[in-house]
A = this chain, B = another copy of it.
Amino acid sequence: MWGGSPLGLSSAAVPSPPRSSRERARLQVDERRSQLLELGLQLFSDHSYDELSIDDIARAAGISKGLLYHYFPSKRDYYVEVVRRAAGQLIERTDAASQEVSVEALHGALDAYLDFVDQHARSYVALVRGGIGSDPEVVQLLEATRRTLTERIVSRISADEPPPLLRLALRGWIGLVESASLDWLDRREVPREQLRGLLEQMLVATIMAAGVTPPVL
């Protein structure tokens, strides 16, 4: 059903192993590991989890299947690590902007977020769509990422735990940001500033709807 040929993606779709040296290239553990994660991010951005076989991945990396298992205990673990790395990048790249204060802070944070969305469109889509069907670990990972993003905002509203309704509302807003971002990538009908403006306004509305007076703006 999936791919007509033996594997949906042969030499054509998947990057070939490093050009020349077709010998055993022995790398340092960390190098290889991050090479594999890097590659995984690319591959999973273009192909769904079970479109990609371990053999495909190994071939694309120019290594044997066995080696993949030397680095990751299972395909699933490998996938989870790839997602973890992507989530980490999202957190990182949107971090710088969050140190400023007040209005500019929000502005900057959203800009950074949309930068990421824009520049890593395919990875972003793969990331938020969550890949594997409800793998508990992936779900948890994504949820943790969203929490981190949320907390940056919450911390600007109050130092304490937010009341339940506000938490719920903010969680909803994150969902809004993700859905809007996906739709935006898909159509590109609206200028980016307009999207940012929309998300900003919606955040304010969210906070107010939760019965809290927004401190800034």
Contact = CB atoms under 8 A, between A and B. Distances in A.
A210 interface: yes
B179 A174 contact: yes
Given A169-B180, A172-B177, A176-B179, A126 B134 contact: yes
B179 A164 contact: no
A73 to B, nearest CB: 7
A180 B172 contact: yes
Contact of A209 (B76, B139, B202): B202
Interface residues of A, number: 48
Copies of this protein in the assembly total 2
Interface string A19-48: 000000000000000000000000000001
A175 B216 CA distance: 25
Contact of A202 (B2, B139, B172): B172
Interface string A168-194: 110111111111100110010110001
8 contacts: A48-B135, A130-B130, A131-B134, A165-B190, A165-B198, A168-B195, A171-B179, A174-B179
